[in-house]
């Protein structure tokens, strides 16, 4: 090894440029949703009440059992992980047990795993000598897909392990958690992120990643994500990849998000106004060939129909009823072509002819 | 000797003959390193699988083309054993979980975990992740889709998932919010014509433009169907002629005849006869929704304009019931009976009006 001075001395000249630090590939290659997962409870956007409570837990070590609920991508999983990280520092993985819908969660599995985990005593010091709360945390993510029987069994477990263990249940639908279980927890609702909160966060990611995104594109990104922060971050990253060095524009966002262009919707409505079943059939075939999703189509179609003043109320009502029916059938797995034909036949009868 | 559909399948992103812009986008995605989970969707024969394989090749090189067919055994919670066949290379594994029916969740859960946890990629590949390719993702049960949610996040550092589907309608929002969706639309008539002409040229054949056009139109955007039909034309007659007949699939011809029989006579006896024919199609594994769809198209061509709305709505209603129900035959037959009643009434009303 020789320093620059020594090098100059020996070889007489300037030292070769230092090799750039080898980038840690892991860091670079993790997707943004993970990269920008809040690390501390302070980083959690928009969920002020929850954040206040979590902060006080971090300070006073006084934690009730928790139940987090709310729509996808609003920070539920992130919040509890961030709190655990703050409580236990680097040792947080040994102090939490995370069980989710992809793990086997029959009654016995949950009971056994939790028991085993709870049995190990939890001291109020970490191996590094720092103080920490004298309990561990069991996180039951996606608890709404647990069977009622498993939930009932959990009730007992929560009580019997109360000395050493706290529970945090997370779900999208609070109504699917049985009442006796819910009543053992402090409940917190996570709200869909507000426009401002979402825009701020997206902007800050753009800055960190050094990408350009037009205001209009940002606005569109926010709209298509419907308060789901995860969705918006995934979309943003995809757009960034598609655009490379160039500025992200509205159209890319729409394409990446699978939004159907307005002209396509308009064209479909036009074809249905011709009062010809043949023209309806070709229109539906064309949609099918383009691969547009039928559920996305009816979602956007509804908007256009409602805002069209040339259709009278009674006809609108009939169309809307059919849209609702088709939506329901699609969720059941009905064939898209046939459902769009059905919807189209109702449009045919209820749209003013040109 | 392999069929044209296999022989002329493009292998790399650069060789894809249409939607070049999308192919470029995919290339950039691969180069950027932080490859996302993907949901590739589009109609049959639009080239989804070809595109996915080209992406894999771009990611890992020729190694992905050394395929092994394997049988994997899974155990359900009720201790039932399931055998599923998979296709795998050193870098990826392809599976069709709907082969496991209602136990698809077990397959997904086990497979992804094993793949993600046994991470012994050769260092030469320079990728830290393997790919799990899930075919027919729109046929996954809700249960399996829910199980995918956290799995997709948890094992992301070692495993990426590519879902292939006909439509996104049946994929739950939580999964869609975790994937980059890539829509592969059908090639246009012109694009299909170009590909057909190209393939024929490679085979040393000359394909008249008019015939190419007719085959492309017949295929309705399904490139596989177009290539198969073109090869069938070749077997039937060469040199080609502009107006030579395009050999149709047996089941299509059979369904056309079936619909003529329905329009010709409406009676309990005829209904019985139709039932036999529907059974015949079902035992030959023609998907019931395809039968319903084709029947509708044929019947619409043969009935009065005033009846069309009724026929369409009936087909949509009965097909939906079919998805919820157990035996497709009930619902197909109910549709035929419904049509017969409606059609007969129309004819009779017409006659009294004439009187
Ligand atoms: N409130 C928030 N503040 C900042 N980022 C957020 C917030 N909510 C979600 N995110 C972003 O979205 C990603 C997913 O969030 P998280 O896993 O916490 O969602 P979730 O509420 O658990 O959703 P699901 O119900 O689908 O499990 C995070 O990694 C983060 O990038
Ligand atoms: N870009 C292309 N250029 C030329 N030929 C293509 C291209 N893409 C696909 N093909 C041909 O089209 C055929 C069908 O493609 P592929 O199997 O990828 O379709 P698919 O979308 O997966 O269909 P399915 O949903 O029915 O399985 C292939 O056999 C291949 O030969
Ligand atoms: Mg979560
Ligand atoms: Mg395929």
pLDDT of residue B199: 95
Does B265 contact chain A (CB < 8 Å)? no
**pTM for the whole structure:** 0.85
What integer pLDDT is reported at residue A141 of this predicted model?
Answer: 87
Contact A45, A76 (CB under 8 A): no
Give the bridge partners for B164, in sequence order: B40
- A267 and A237 part of one domain: no
Same domain, A47 and A169: yes
Q: Which helix (H) or strand (E) holds B39?
A: strand B38-41
**For B189-197, what is the mean pLDDT?**
96
Q: Considering A160, A189, A218, which residue would you say is the last residue of a domain?
A: A189
pLDDT digits (tens, 9 = 90+) for A308-341: 999 999 999 999 999 999 999 998 889 999 999 9
d(CA B13, CA B26): 8
User: Is B86 in the A-facing interface, judged by CB distances under 8 Å?
Assistant: no
Torsion of CA B60, B62, B63, B67, to 10 degrees: 120
Taking the Cβ of residue B29 and every Cβ of chain A, the question of whether any pair is shorter than 8 Å is answered with yes
- In a domain, residue A312? The reply is yes
Query: Which site among A100, A102, A107 would you substitute to test the B interface, given the most B Cβ atoms closer than 10 Å to its Cβ?
Result: A102
Quick check: helix, strand or coil at residue A259? coil
Nearest to B334 by CA among B354, B352, B314: B314
Q: Which residues constitute the domain of residue A226?
A: 195-257
Residue A132 lies in a domain: yes
Going A239 to A244 to A249 to A252, the CA torsion angle's sign is negative
CB contacts of B289 in chain A (<8 Å) are 335, 338
CA distance A72 to chain B (A): 7
Residue contact B34–A30, C-beta within 8 A: yes
Give the A:B interface size as CB pairs under 8 Å.
168
Claim to verify: residue A175 and residue A266 sit in the same structural domain: no
Rama region for A260: left / alpha / beta (φ>0; ψ in -120 to 50; rest): beta
Q: Is B239 exposed, middle or buried (0-12, 13-18, 19+ CB in 10 A)?
A: exposed
Query: Which atom of ligand 2 lies at the shortest distance from residue B195's CA?
Result: 4
| pLDDT computed for residue B192 by the predictor | 96
- Residue A282, domain CATH: 1.20.272.10
Rounding to the nearest 10 degrees, give the CA dihedral for residues B19, B21, B25, B30: 60
Confidence of residue B123 (pLDDT cuts 50, 70, 90): low
Cβ(A350) – ligand 1 distance below 6 Å:
no
The pLDDT-based confidence of B335 (bands split at 50, 70, 90) is very high
Q: What are phi and psi of B258, to 5 degrees?
A: -55, -45
Examine the domain organization and report whether A210 and A237 are in the same domain.
Answer: yes
Residues A179 and A285 in one domain: no
E strands, chain A, are 66-69, 96-99, 136-140, 165-171, 186-189
Q: Over range A230-254, report the average pLDDT.
A: 89
Q: Which residue has the higher pLDDT, A258 or B263?
A: B263
For B161, the enclosing helix (H) or strand (E) is strand B159-165
Q: Does residue B318 surpass a pLDDT of 50?
A: yes
**pLDDT, tens digit, for every residue of A3-54?**
444 443 444 444 444 444 443 444 456 788 889 999 999 999 999 999 999 9
Residues of A in contact with B323 (CB under 8 A): 332-335
Q: Are residues A238 and A341 in the same domain?
A: no
CB atoms within 10 A of CB B346: 15
CB-nearest to B186 from A29, A289, A295 is A289
Give the 3-state secondary structure of residue B308: helix
Q: Mean pLDDT in chain A?
A: 87
Q: What is the pLDDT of residue B125?
A: 57
Q: What's the confidence (pLDDT) of residue B354?
A: 59
How high is the pLDDT of residue B355?
Answer: 55
Query: A253 and A294 share a domain?
Result: no
User: Residue B120: which pLDDT band, with cuts at 50, 70 and 90?
Assistant: low
Confidence band (pLDDT; 50, 70, 90) for B229? very high
In this prediction, residue B131 carries a pLDDT of 93
**A33 in Cβ contact with B180 (< 8 Å):** no
Identify the domain boundary among A208, A231, A257: A257
Pair A266, A253 in one domain? no
* Residue of B177, B186, B316 with shortest CB distance to A231: B177
Q: Best mutation site among B45, B187, B219 for ligand 2, i.e. most ligand atoms within 8 A of its Cβ?
A: B45
Measure A160 CA to nearest chain B CA, in Å.
27
Is B42 within 8 Å of chain A by CB? yes
Q: Which residues pair with B181 in a beta bridge?
A: B39
Q: Is the CB of B165 under 6 A from ligand 2?
A: no
CATH number of the domain bearing residue A200? 1.10.8.60
Q: Is A80 a member of any domain?
A: yes
Judge contact between B215 and B246, C-beta under 8 A.
Answer: yes
Residue A20 lies in a domain: no
Q: Report how far ligand 4's centroid is from the alpha carbon of B47 (Å).
A: 7
Residue pointed to by tokens 């169309």: A319
Whether residue A265 is predicted with pLDDT greater than 90 in this model: the reply is: yes
On whether residue A14 sits in a domain, the answer given is no
A77 C-alpha vs ligand 1 centroid, how far in Å? 7
* HSE-up of residue A96 (Cα within 13 Å, Cβ side): 24
Q: How far is A5 from chain B (nearest CA, A)?
A: 37
Q: Could you tell me if residue A127 is inside a domain?
A: yes
Instruction: Kindly state whether B313 is in contact with chain A, defined as any CB-CB distance less than 8 angstroms.
Output: yes
Residues 6+ apart with CB under 8 A from B144: B97, B104, B105, B107, B108
**Does residue B121 register a pLDDT over 60?**
no
pLDDT at residue A20, rounded to an integer: 41
- Mean pLDDT over B202-229 rounds to 94
Phi-psi region of A13 (alpha: psi -120 to 50; beta: other; left: phi over 0): left
Mean pLDDT, range A82-87, rounded to an integer = 94
- CATH assignment of the domain containing A47: 3.40.50.300
Taking the CA of B202 as reference, the closest ligand is 2
CA of B235 from ligand 2 middle (Å) equals 21
Mean pLDDT of chain B: 90
Instruction: Flag whether A21 is in a domain.
Output: no
- How many Å lie between the alpha carbon of B295 and the closest alpha carbon of chain A? 11
Q: What share of chain A is helix, strand, coil (3-state, %, to 5)?
A: 60, 10, 35
Same structural domain, A103 and A136: yes
* pLDDT of res. A29: 67
Within-domain flag for A8: no
**Could you tell me the pLDDT band of residue A124, with boundaries at 50, 70 and 90?**
confident
Asked if the model's pLDDT at residue B42 lies above 50, the reply is yes
Residue with tokens 């017409």: B350
A257 CA to centre of ligand 4 in angstroms: 23
User: What's the pLDDT score for residue A31?
Assistant: 80
Measured between beta carbons, the chain B residues lying within 8 angstroms of A228 are: 177
Share of chain B above pLDDT 90, in %: 60
Helix (H) or strand (E) holding B93: strand B92-95
Contact B128/A at CB under 8 A: yes
Radius of gyration of chain A from its Cα atoms, rounded to whole angstroms: 27
Share of chain B above pLDDT 70, in %: 97
In chain A, the percentage of residues whose pLDDT exceeds 90 is 60
- Which of the two residues, B271 and B152, has the higher pLDDT score? B271
**Furthest-apart CA atoms within chain A: distance in Å:** 93
Residue B119 near chain A (CB below 8 Å):
no
Of A257, A272, A304, the domain-final residue:
A257
Q: Which pLDDT does position B173 carry in this prediction?
A: 81
Q: For residue A242, what are the CA distances in angstroms to A246, B21, B42, B189?
A: 9, 10, 20, 27
**Do residue A167 and residue A227 come from a single domain?**
no
Two structure tokens written together for B1? 């000797």
Interface test with A, best of B31, B38, B320 (most A CBs within 10 A): B320
- Ligand 2 geometric centre to CA of B46 (Å): 6
Please determine, for residue A81, whether its predicted confidence score (pLDDT) is greater than 90: yes
Query: Which 3 state secondary structure label does DSSP give B225?
Result: helix
Closest CB from A172, A334, A345 relative to B313: A345
Query: pLDDT-derived band of residue A122, with 50, 70 and 90 as boundaries?
Result: confident
**Ligand 2, atom nearest to B51 Cα:** 18
pLDDT score for A19: 40
Indicate if ligand 2 lies below 6 Å from the C-beta of B63. no
> Which residues, in sequence order, are CB contacts of A49 under 8 Å at separation 6+?
A188
Same domain, A106 and A216: no
Centre of ligand 1 to C-alpha A229, Å, is 6
Query: What is the average pLDDT across B238-265?
Result: 93
Whole-angstrom CA distances from B105 to A102, A123, A328, B328 are 8, 38, 24, 25
Using pLDDT thresholds of 50, 70 and 90, give the confidence band for residue A106: low
The string of pLDDT tens digits covering residues A161-177 is 888 899 999 998 899 89
Q: Can the peptide bond before residue B239 be classed as cis, meaning omega within 30 degrees of 0?
A: yes
Instruction: Tell me which H or E stretch contains A27.
Output: helix A25-29
- Is B41 strand, coil or helix? strand
Calpha distance A192→A72 (Å, rounded): 8
Looking at the predicted structure, is the pLDDT value of residue A139 above 50?
yes
* Distant-in-sequence, close-in-space partners of B295: CB < 8 Å, separation ≥ 6: B255, B258, B259, B315, B332, B335, B336
Tokens standing for A46? 């928009």
Confidence band of A244 (pLDDT split at 50, 70, 90): confident
More confident: B301 or B351: B301
Are A74 and A179 in the same domain?
yes
For chain A, how many structural domains are there in total?
3
Residues of B in contact with A25 (CB under 8 A): 33, 128
């Amino acid at each position: 090894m020789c320093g620059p001075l020594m090098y100059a001395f020996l070889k007489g000249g300037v030292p070769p440029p230092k090799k750039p630090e080898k980038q840690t590939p892991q860091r670079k290659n993790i997707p943004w949703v993970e990269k920008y997962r809040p690390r501390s409870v302070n980083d959690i956007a928009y969920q002020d009440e929850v954040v206040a409570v979590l902060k006080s837990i971090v300070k006073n070590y006084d934690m009730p059992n928790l139940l987090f609920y709310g729509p996808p991508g609003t920070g539920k999983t992130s919040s509890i992980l961030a709190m655990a990280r703050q409580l236990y520092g680097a040792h947080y993985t040994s102090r939490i047990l995370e069980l989710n819908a992809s793990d086997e969660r029959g009654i016995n599995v949950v009971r056994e795993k939790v028991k085993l985990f709870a049995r190990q005593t939890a001291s109020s010091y970490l191996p590094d000598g720092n103080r920490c709360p004298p309990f561990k945390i069991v996180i039951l993510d996606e608890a709404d897909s647990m069977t009622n029987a498993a939930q009932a069994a959990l009730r007992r477990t929560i009580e019997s392990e109360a000395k050493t263990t706290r529970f945090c249940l997370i779900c999208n639908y609070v109504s699917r958690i049985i009442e006796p279980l819910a009543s053992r927890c402090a409940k917190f609702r996570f709200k869909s992120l507000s426009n401002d909160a979402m825009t701020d966060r997206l902007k800050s990611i753009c800055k960190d990643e050094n990408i350009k995104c037009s205001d209009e594109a940002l606005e569109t990104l926010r709209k298509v994500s419907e308060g789901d922060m995860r969705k918006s971050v995934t979309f943003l990253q995809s757009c960034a990849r598609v655009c490379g060095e160039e500025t992200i524009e509205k159209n890319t966002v729409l394409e990446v998000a699978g939004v159907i262009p307005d002209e396509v919707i308009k064209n479909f409505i036009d074809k249905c106004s011709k009062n010809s079943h043949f023209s309806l059939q070709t229109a539906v075939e064309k949609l099918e060939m383009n691969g547009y999703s039928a559920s996305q189509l009816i979602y956007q179609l509804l908007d256009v129909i409602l805002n069209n003043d040339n259709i009278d109320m009674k006809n609108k009502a009939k169309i809307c009823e059919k849209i609702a029916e088709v939506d329901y059938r699609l969720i059941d797995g009905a064939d898209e072509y046939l459902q769009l034909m059905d919807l189209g036949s109702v449009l045919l009868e209820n749209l003013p002819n040109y | 000797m392999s069929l044209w559909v296999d022989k002329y399948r493009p292998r790399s992103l650069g060789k894809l003959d249409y939607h070049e812009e999308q192919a470029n986008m995919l290339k950039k995605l691969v180069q950027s390193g932080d490859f996302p989970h993907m949901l590739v969707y589009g109609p049959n024969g639009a080239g989804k699988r070809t595109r996915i394989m080209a992406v894999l090749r771009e990611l890992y090189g020729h190694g992905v083309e050394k395929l092994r067919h394997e049988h994997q055994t899974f155990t359900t919670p009720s201790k039932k054993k399931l055998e599923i066949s998979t296709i795998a290379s050193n870098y990826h594994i392809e599976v069709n979980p709907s082969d496991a029916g209602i136990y698809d969740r077990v397959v997904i859960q086990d497979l992804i975990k094993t793949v993600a946890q046994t991470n012994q990629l050769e260092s030469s590949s320079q990728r830290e992740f393997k790919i799990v390719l899930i075919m027919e993702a729109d046929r996954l049960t809700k249960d399996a889709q829910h199980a995918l949610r956290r799995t997709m996040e948890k094992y992301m550092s070692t495993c990426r998932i590519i879902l292939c589907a006909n439509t996104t309608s049946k994929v739950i929002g939580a999964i869609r919010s975790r994937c980059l969706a890539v829509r592969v639309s059908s090639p246009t008539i012109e694009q299909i014509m170009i590909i057909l002409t190209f393939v024929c040229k490679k085979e040393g054949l000359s394909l008249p433009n008019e015939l190419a056009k007719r085959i492309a139109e017949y295929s309705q955007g399904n490139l596989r169907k177009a290539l198969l039909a073109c090869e069938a034309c070749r077997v039937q007659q060469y040199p080609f002629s502009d107006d030579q007949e395009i050999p149709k699939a047996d089941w299509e011809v059979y369904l056309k005849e079936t619909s003529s029989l329905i329009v010709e006579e409406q009676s309990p006896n005829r209904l019985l006869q139709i039932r036999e024919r529907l059974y015949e199609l079902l035992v030959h594994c023609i998907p019931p929704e395809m039968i319903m769809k084709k029947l509708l198209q044929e019947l619409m061509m043969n009935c009065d304009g005033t009846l069309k709305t009724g026929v369409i709505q009936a087909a949509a209603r009965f097909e939906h019931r079919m998805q919820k129900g157990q035996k497709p035959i009930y619902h197909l037959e109910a549709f035929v009976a419904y049509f017969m009643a409606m059609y007969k009434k129309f004819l009779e009303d017409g006659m009294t009006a004439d009187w």
